[in-house]
Amino acid sequence: MQERDADPAFFTQANLFLELFLKLRQRSAEFDLVHIHAFDWPAFACSTLIQDIPVIHTLHLPAVTPEINEALRVMDRQGHPQTLVTVSYSCAETYASYTLIDYVIYNGLDLDAIPFNPKTPVEAPLLFAGRIAPEKGVEAAIDIAEKAGYRLLIAGGIYDRHYFEQRIVPKLRRAGGRVTYLGQLERLALWKVMGQSLGLLFPIEWDEPFGLTAVEAMATGTPVIAFRRGAAQEIIRHGETGFLVEEGETAHAAALVDDLYDIPRAHCRAHVEANFSLQQMLDTYEQVYYSLSS
C-alpha cells in the first residue's frame, strides 16, 4: 500500500540511531557530552533528542550531501544548540550558506607510531597513496611521474573496480616497470614506503576536506606535490613541505619534482609535529569539551 521512497538499509540504520539517541537521552546524566562523527541524516536529526548535555558533531566531509545541508540549515535556523566542528577551513567554508561552524580542528597523527626517515634514498620513486578512485587523482599522478621521468609506486585499495580496470590498468601496462601498483598496504608498511619516497603526489580531483595521506607522508619526512584544492593549502606549506600547483597542471607538477630534493625532510616532520599531532587534536577537543560542559 505504501510507496517506499528509501531503501530498507537506510531505515535499518535510521532506527538504530533513533534507538541510540532515545537511550542516550535517558542516560544523559551519566555523560558530560556526546561527540558524534556519523555523517548520516538520522544521526543529525536524532541527535537533537539530546538537550541536557552538549552535543558535538565533527563533519569529516564537505557539504556534498543535500539532505544533511538542509538538516543543518534547519537546526541553525531553529537555534538548536549543537556544536559543529570540521577538519579544515576549506571544509568549513562549504557549509557557510547552511550553518555556522563553531570550530575547525585539524586531524592529528600519533607521531610516535610513524617512523621518520631523514634521508631520501638514492633513486627514490614517487608515490601515490590513497583510495583508487577518480576523485583521488590516480591518473594525474601517473601523468606527473611520467612527465617527470620518475618511477611511481601506487598504494591503496581499489574502491572503484570499473575505474581501476578501464582507466588505470591500461596505463600500468603502457608504463611497464616505471609504474607499480602495490595493492593496499598495512599502515606501518605504507609509512615505510612513504618514508622511502622522493615525494607524495597528491593531485586531488575533488575538494579534499583534510588530506590525511599527505600529512602522513610529511610525518615520514616526505614532501608532497598537491593540486591547490580543498584543504591542500592548509596542510602543505608551498616551498617548505612540498609544492602546490593549480589543479590539472600536471606539467607544472612534473617540473617541480626535481625540486623535492631541496625540501628538508626534517621540515616536513616538524610541520606535522607542530600542527597535526594527535596530542594537539586531543587538547583542542578537550578545550572545546571543557568550554561546553562548564
- Residues in contact with its own copies by CB under 8 A are 1-2, 5-12, 14-15, 18-19, 22-23, 26, 39, 41-42, 45-46, 48-49, 61, 64-67, 70-71, 74-75, 77-80, 135, 206
Q: Min. distance of Cβ 195 from its own copies in angstroms?
A: 29
Per the listing, cell 618514508 goes with 195
Instruction: Tell me whether residue 7 or residue 186 sits nearer to its own copies (CB atom).
Output: 7
Angstrom distance (rounded) from CA 281 to CA 34: 17
Per the listing, cell 617548505 goes with 240
Q: Which three cell numbers stand for residue 62?
A: 564537505
Measured CA distances, 162 to 73, 124, 128 (Å):
36, 30, 19
- Asked if residues 218 and 271 have their Cβ atoms less than 8 Å apart, the reply is yes
Q: Min. distance of Cβ 44 from its own copies in angstroms?
A: 8
3-state secondary structure of 207: coil
Q: Min. distance of Cβ 119 from its own copies in angstroms?
A: 37
Q: Which three cell numbers stand for residue 216?
A: 602522513
List, edge to edge, every strand of the sheet that includes 103-104. Answer: 34-36, 55-59, 83-86, 103-104
Angstrom distance (rounded) from CA 267 to CA 218: 9
Q: Min. distance of Cβ 105 from its own copies in angstroms?
A: 21
Q: Min. distance of Cβ 133 from its own copies in angstroms?
A: 9
Spatial neighbors of 200 by CB under 8 A, at least 6 apart, are: 126, 127, 128, 129, 194, 213, 214, 217, 222, 223, 224, 225, 242
Instruction: Tell me whether residue 33 or residue 74 sits nearer to its own copies (CB atom).
Output: 74
Q: Which three cell numbers stand for residue 191?
A: 609509512
Instruction: Tell me whether residue 94 or residue 220 sits nearer to its own copies (CB atom).
Output: 94
Q: Min. distance of Cβ 94 from its own copies in angstroms?
A: 12
Instruction: Tell me whether residue 95 or residue 116 sits nearer to its own copies (CB atom).
Output: 95
Q: Min. distance of Cβ 163 from its own copies in angstroms?
A: 14
Instruction: Tell me whether residue 49 or residue 185 sits nearer to its own copies (CB atom).
Output: 49
Instruction: Tell me whether residue 138 or residue 148 sits nearer to its own copies (CB atom).
Output: 138
Q: Min. distance of Cβ 249 from its own copies in angstroms?
A: 23
Instruction: Tell me whether residue 11 or residue 290 sits nearer to its own copies (CB atom).
Output: 11
Q: Which three cell numbers stand for residue 79?
A: 537555534
- Asked if residues 151 and 179 have their Cβ atoms less than 8 Å apart, the reply is yes
Nearest CA to 213 out of 121, 141, 285 is that of 141
Instruction: Tell me whether residue 45 or residue 179 sits nearer to its own copies (CB atom).
Output: 45
The identity of residue 146, as a single letter, is E
